[in-house]
A and B are shown apart, each in its own frame.
Chain A
Amino acid sequence: MYVSGGNDEHIIGRRIGGALRDDCRKTQSNAGIMSVFDILITYQSAFANGLLTTFQLALMIWLIGLTGGSLLGSIGARWKIFVGIPSRVISFTLSGVPILVFLFWLHYPLQQLLGVVIDPFITAALTLSIINVFAVADVIRGVLLDFPSQYIIAGKVCGMTSSQILVHIQLPIVLRQTVPVLLMIQVNMLQATLFASLISVNEIFRVAQQINSHIYKPVEVYTALGLLFLAICLPLNGLALWLKAKFTRDFSER
């Protein structure tokens, strides 16, 4: 197992290619006066590589989670006993297991048990996707079950089939209601990608760990990481607000 970054320049260099090694050489001359921004600038290519991996990870998790979750939620609302309740139980259990533990368990013990070796990136993507799918499904199923039945009745008497009603009436109304919650879950999932460093996926947190293990400036390095995340999450939260303002109209009638 290779948990957390090694402090051997050789390992670092092998893991994230030449970028970090070159960056490191530059810094060694002016260590000591390095501020947060210096770190960001000095290690920009390493950070960029890490961010790219983080984004690839997040994108997969978002896509799988949102589509899979909408699907599972819709099916669960329709077949309450066979799909709804099991998926509720699973999501309840999942929410009680720390993501870190779940990730580790799927990475090491499970793969050893099954005698397979799966790329840590894929393992991390799948693990977090599973968590995302069930979290999204929970939200979608909940609002679908609370859905005002009169809108469905109106669809029925207009001759719409139940899948047409689902697609054209229920999901649009439900999605508008849930956009803010779903986006919040997605921001949380983005932050959960940091755990992928546990199984040595070279995403942004692992890059930060490696840089830190090299220059021993934890406050500055992790502050830099925090700033990066802030720069990413703030626009996402802004987007959430904007979508909310744009799509969630006040439906109440006079």
Chain B
Amino acid sequence: MLQGIQLVKSARGQKIIDNVDVQLEPGQISVIIGPSGSGKTTLIKLLALLEKPDSGKIVIDDHQYQFPAERNELPPWPEITVVFQQLFLWPHLTLLQNIKLPLMLRSKWHRSVERRASVAPTSNASTTNVQPVEQRRLDDLIELFDMQSFVQRYPNEASLGQRQRAALVRALVLQPRYLLLDEITSSLDVEQISIILSYLKRLSKKGIGVLIVTHLLNFAREAADRVIFMDAGRIIESGGREVLDSPSQERVKKFLSVIESAS
């Protein structure tokens, strides 16, 4: 279980995360909805231990990280991993190289592990350093997201939607246990979104915990096991999928009706 307990984070004298408790179960998809600037990205960075909260506690399975921290403990990346709003693809590598680099480096460490698995050569057999099992998983993902035509491009030669898929696949091939996705569907078409949606559902059935920030109500309705509303650094309402249709808070009702009418 991934858990944030009484998280507080200030920036420039202002609380941008204000006493937030949040819980992400393995095998569940949680969706965060909230207006711009409400602290969604910040919360994800705290949960992924990329930024330190001023106070509070992060629990990742049986590991506890208490803040303010008295010692520096290395977070369990990429067991918990993030796909960021701005994607952060490395500009000097092609999309495919972006996806493969972390895999190859990890294989170097754990070369012995999946060694015996043997797989027939695939379309992307150019690589030598990725283990066959991972190579096949990668090929499957590239095919699933229809990426063959552009994986050889550099990030600045690819469209935003293409980059979003590449960044997503870069995280997916690492098989994280907790996957945090920050608004990564903004430039994808309906078909791509539904492909991602069903893939994420499959992942969560395998016991992966998924957290998604999105503005797409339909996406949330389809995917969410839990829904979390954020506003001004606080969680103002949370609950099951039904919260989307009958929120108790006025603020949430208003926000939902606005994005409903916009889409």
Write the residues of chain A forming the contact surface with B, with a CB cutoff of 8 angstroms: 150-151, 153-160, 164, 168-169, 172-173, 176, 249-254
Contact = CB atoms under 8 A, between A and B. Distances in A.
Nearest to B80: A157
Query: B75, B105, B163: which has the most chain A beta carbons within 10 Å?
Result: B105
Contact of B91 (A153, A160, A164, A173): A173
A160 B108 CA distance: 11
B89 to A, nearest CB: 7
13 contacts: A150-B88, A155-B102, A156-B50, A156-B75, A157-B48, A158-B102, A159-B174, A164-B105, A173-B90, A176-B92, A251-B91, A251-B92, A253-B156
Nearest to A151: B90
Contacts of A172: 92
A157 B156 contact: no
Query: A156, A158, A250: which has the most chain B beta carbons within 10 Å?
Result: A158
Interface in B65-105: 75, 77-82, 84, 86, 88-92, 101-102, 105
A153 B86 CA distance: 12
Contact of A157 (B50, B101, B154, B160): B50
Contacts of A168: 101, 105
Interface of B, secondary structure class, is: loop
Given A154-B84, A176-B92, A159 B155 contact: no
B92 A157 contact: no
Contacts of A156: 50, 75, 77
Nearest to A164: B105
A168 B163 CA distance: 20
Range for the number of chain B residues in contact with chain A: 20 to 34
B102 A159 contact: yes
Nearest to B79: A159
Given A157-B50, A250-B156, A169 B90 contact: yes
B106 interface: yes
B170 interface: yes
Contacts of B91: 151, 173, 249, 251, 253
Query: A150, A151, A157, A251: which has the most chain B beta carbons within 10 Å?
Result: A157
B155 A158 contact: no
B171 interface: yes
A169 B84 CA distance: 18
A251 B94 CA distance: 11
Contacts of B75: 156
Given A160-B102, A160-B105, A154 B156 contact: no
Contacts of B86: 150
Contacts of B154: 249
B254 to A, nearest CB: 33
A226 to B, nearest CB: 39
Query: A155, A168, A249, A253: which has the most chain B beta carbons within 10 Å?
Result: A253
B113 to A, nearest CB: 14
A153 B92 contact: no
Given A158-B170, A158-B171, A168-B101, A153 B78 contact: no
